[in-house]
């Protein structure tokens, strides 16, 4: 089960001006990141990556239980 208190979300600006959105599960150390598309809203991309991240955490928990 994904606990929102254990999730860290970072928005990172790279030297070339591009931005990365990173989700990290503090409990397991699992991270998922994606370069943001400037033509799409950040909220939309955050929601989409959040769904991918939740699925990855659930899959990792199944693999290690």
pLDDT confidence bin for 1, thresholds 50/70/90: low
- Tens of pLDDT, residue by residue over 40-56, are 999 999 999 999 999 99
* pLDDT on residue 3: 78
* pLDDT on residue 50: 95
The residues spanned by each domain of the chain are 4-63
The CA-based angle 62-30-23, given to 5 degrees, is 120
Name the DSSP letter for residue 1: -
- Tens of pLDDT, residue by residue over 8-65, are 999 999 999 999 999 999 988 999 999 999 999 999 999 999 999 999 999 988 887 7
Name the DSSP letter for residue 65: -
The CA-based angle 25-28-33, given to 5 degrees, is 45
Pick 4-63's CATH classification: 3.30.870, 3.40.50, 2.60.40, 3.30.160.
3.30.160
CA–CA separation, 49 and 53 (whole Å): 6
């Amino acid at each position: 089960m994904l606990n929102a208190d254990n999730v860290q979300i970072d928005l990172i600006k790279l030297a070339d001006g591009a931005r990365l959105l990173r989700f990290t599960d503090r409990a397991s150390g699992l991270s998922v990141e994606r370069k943001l598309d400037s033509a799409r809203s950040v909220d939309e991309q955050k929601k989409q990556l959040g769904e991918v991240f939740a699925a990855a955490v659930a899959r990792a928990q199944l693999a290690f239980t």
